[in-house]
């Protein structure tokens, strides 16, 4: 397992603001109705099991793991669609970059179709696109991936619900209490405000935090448009007085 | 006016959706050859790992009684002596032959997750009180907006369970049984109920 360079703090994690995240029961997103716990979560102060988490070294990565345009394509071929680079940093709530964070991503192809047995959408599979990638953040918490912009697609919820273009992210922090799965949306997508899954998030401000910004400065001319997407994980307390026994 | 704290806000959670397998267990999802055919979190132990080998399985059950066949379950646990294999572990060195972290999709046919791991040692709370051996579970799926944290305790640790500060600290003490696995044919079985009379205790960690 990997060693870590930045260690901003070693105390307990900042409490999670559950009013900022989607509540469990959001009936407009119908799948939550039978899958949402009804009783209150039990608060648990952090012990070693929550403060620690698995770490992953760069040795697990293949050369093209973060290149979805090529990592499932035949030699010499590439995926069909708008070529995009996604760049950003993984930060904690103090704004400190976190290195060594494993990011895993998955997405539909340019037509809005997933390479999955359960997806029967009309749009065709792209034989050169798998829709799966991963990377590990570098010393300042930065990462990037190359992919094609995923298409929007209809899904069985309301009679005419469509997902905006999005990329799923799975994120490991320093501790298992930071474990997070979220989705990245694209600036200017008119489907964002219509989506029942986006609408599970209570505030506009929190939704805006998931919308990647067009970044023309980092766009590669004649090659790929860049979107910037930062991810924020829970911060940690840094006081040395944490849980010190009286008299010590 | 006081100084600004200048804190960022945690990125809001979104459901992992029905296609989480593509990104997290691509070989399970049928993406041949991704990551050399090895899904991360499949192998927790190697031949040199210390401690007692155990197998555990279970289902995630919704409010209608149906098993989730599109969920993903991860576990995180201490090694045989109570240390975590993590750079964030400050108390001592864990067994390098045991990762402590596992990941399993629930099978499309049976709805079961399955792990081959070792029996964890006891870990103290920050105040020094020892916890009973337990395994931390984290569940994501379509219809789950924020990943669910829970714990599995062992049915053959009656004494340790009776002094565990988390189990004994539950306001509704009868709900502790939702966190204790059963032992069937040499395997631990831990079913997770999202709703209903025996709703599993979930934690805000």
| Residue A165, token pair as written in the block | 């273009």
Cβ–Cβ under 8 Å, residues A247 and A219: no
- Decide if A240 touches B, using CB distance below 8 A: no
Report pLDDT digits (tens) over B106-120: 999 999 999 999 999
pLDDT category at A248 given cuts 50, 70, 90 is very low
pLDDT average, residue stretch B60-81: 98
Q: CB contact, 8 Å: A239 with chain B? A: no
- Integer angstrom CA distances of residue A193 from A5, A139, A200, A226, B196: 40, 35, 11, 23, 33
Q: What is the CA radius of gyration of chain B?
A: 18
In this predicted structure, the answer to whether residue A7 has a pLDDT above a threshold of 70 is no
Q: With contact defined as beta carbons under 8 Å apart, do A116 and A162 qualify?
A: no
Give tens-digit pLDDT for B23-34: 999 999 999 889
Q: Residue A132 forms beta bridges with which residues? A: A106
Q: How far apart are CA A178 and CA A51, in angstroms?
A: 9
> Would an 8 Å CB–CB cutoff place A129 in contact with chain B?
no
> Could you give the CA distance from residue A12 to residue A16 in angstroms, rounded to a whole number?
11
B-facing residues of A in 141-180 (CB < 8 A) are 168, 170, 174-177, 179-180
Predicted local confidence at residue A11, as pLDDT: 85
- Across the range A110-138, mean pLDDT stands at 97
| Interface test with chain A among B19, B42, B43, by most A beta carbons within 10 Å | B19
pLDDT at A244: 55
- pLDDT average, residue stretch A217-230: 98
State yes or no: pLDDT of A102 exceeds 70: yes
- Smallest CA–CA distance from B127 into chain A, residue: A243
Contacts of A218 (CB under 8 A, 6+ apart): A85, A87, A226, A228
Could you tell me if B59 and B67 are in contact, meaning their C-beta atoms sit under 8 angstroms apart? Answer: yes
Return the residue of B nearest to A234 by Cα. Answer: B10
Segment A82-97 shows an average pLDDT of: 97
Among B126, B144, B202, whose Cβ lies nearest the Cβ of A45?
Answer: B126
Q: Give the residue on B whose Cα is nearest the Cα of A28.
A: B143
Residue A7 DSSP one-character state: -
Per-residue confidence band for A203, with pLDDT thresholds at 50, 70 and 90: very high
Buried b (16+ CB within 10 A) or exposed e, B62-93: bbeeebbbbbbbbbbbbbbebbbbbbbbeeee
Q: Which two tokens stand for residue B41?
A: 């979190």
Q: Which residues of A touch B200 (CB under 8 A)?
A: 37
pLDDT at residue A9, rounded to an integer: 63
| pLDDT value for B26 | 97
What is the rounded average pLDDT of the residues B1-18? 96
Residue A53 is predicted with a pLDDT of 97
List CB contacts of B73: < 8 A, sequence separation 6 or more.
B60, B103, B104, B105, B106, B113, B137, B138, B139
Q: What's the mean pLDDT in A226-232?
A: 98
Compute the average pLDDT of residues A21-35: 98
Assigned token pair, B195: 């709703």
* Active site amino acids of A: 114, 153, 163, 166, 168
pLDDT of residue B15: 98
- Partners of A94 on chain B (C-beta within 8 Å) are 7-8
Helix (H) or strand (E) holding A149: none
Task: Chain A: give the shortest CA distance to residue B3, in Å.
Answer: 15
Distance from CA of B184 to the nearest CA of A (A): 26
pLDDT number for residue A5: 53
The reply to whether residue A168 touches residue B19, judged by beta carbons under 8 angstroms, is yes
pLDDT band at A48 (very low <50, low <70, confident <90, very high): very high
Q: What is the mean pLDDT of chain A?
A: 94
Residues of B in Cβ contact (< 8 Å) with A164:
none
Residue in A65, A118, A242 closest to B18 by CB: A118
Note whether ipTM > 0.90 here.
Answer: yes
Beta pairing class for A225-228 and A211-214: antiparallel
For residue A233, the chain B residues in CB contact (below 8 A) are: 10-11
Which residues on chain A are in Cβ contact (under 8 Å) with B68?
35
pLDDT, average across residues A54-74: 96
Q: What is the mean pLDDT of the segment spanning A181-209?
A: 98
């Amino acid at each position: 397992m990997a060693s870590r360079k930045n260690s901003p703090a070693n105390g307990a994690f900042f409490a999670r603001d559950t009013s900022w995240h989607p509540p469990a029961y959001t009936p407009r997103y119908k799948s939550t109705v039978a899958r949402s716990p009804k009783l209150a979560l039990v608060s648990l102060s952090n012990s070693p099991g929550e403060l620690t988490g698995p770490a992953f070294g760069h040795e697990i990565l293949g050369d093209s793991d973060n290149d979805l345009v090529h990592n499932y394509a035949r030699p010499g071929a590439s995926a069909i669609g708008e070529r995009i680079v996604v760049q950003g940093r993984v930060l904690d709530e103090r704004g400190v970059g976190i290195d060594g964070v494993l990011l895993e991503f998955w997405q539909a192809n340019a037509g809005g179709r997933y390479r999955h047995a359960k997806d029967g959408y009309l749009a065709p599979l792209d034989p050169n696109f798998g829709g799966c990638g991963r990377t590990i953040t570098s010393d300042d918490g930065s990462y990037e991936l190359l992919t094609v912009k995923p298409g929007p697609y209809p899904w069985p919820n309301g009679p005419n619900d469509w997902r905006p273009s999005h990329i799923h992210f799975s994120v490991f922090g320093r501790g298992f209490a930071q474990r997070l799965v979220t989705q990245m949306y694209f600036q200017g997508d008119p489907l964002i405000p219509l989506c029942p899954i986006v609408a599970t998030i209570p505030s506009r401000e929190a939704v805006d935090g998931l919308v990647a910004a067009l970044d023309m400065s980092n766009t590669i001319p004649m090659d790929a448009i860049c979107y910037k997407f930062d991810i924020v994980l829970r911060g940690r307390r840094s006081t040395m007085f944490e849980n010190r026994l009286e008299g010590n | 006016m006081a100084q600004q704290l200048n804190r960022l806000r945690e990125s809001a959670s979104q459901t992992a959706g029905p296609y989480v397998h593509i990104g997290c267990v691509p070989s399970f999802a049928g993406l041949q050859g991704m990551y050399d055919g090895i899904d991360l979190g499949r192998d927790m132990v190697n031949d040199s790992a210390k401690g007692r080998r155990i197998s555990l399985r279970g289902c995630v059950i919704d409010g209608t009684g149906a098993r989730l066949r599109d969920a993903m379950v991860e576990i995180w646990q201490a090694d045989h002596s109570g240390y975590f294999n993590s750079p964030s572990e400050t108390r001592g060195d864990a067994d390098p032959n045991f990762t402590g972290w596992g990941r399993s999709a629930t099978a499309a046919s049976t709805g079961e997750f399955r792990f081959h791991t070792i029996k964890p040692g006891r870990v103290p709370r920050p105040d020094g009180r020892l916890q009973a051996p337990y395994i931390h579970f984290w569940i994501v799926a379509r219809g789950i907006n924020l990943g669910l944290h829970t714990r599995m305790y062992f049915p053959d640790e009656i004494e340790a369970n009776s002094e565990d500060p988390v189990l004994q600290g539950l306001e509704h003490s009868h709900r502790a049984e939702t966190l204790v696995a059963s032992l069937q044919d040499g395997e631990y079985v831990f079913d997770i109920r999202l709703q209903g009379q025996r709703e599993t205790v979930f934690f805000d960690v």
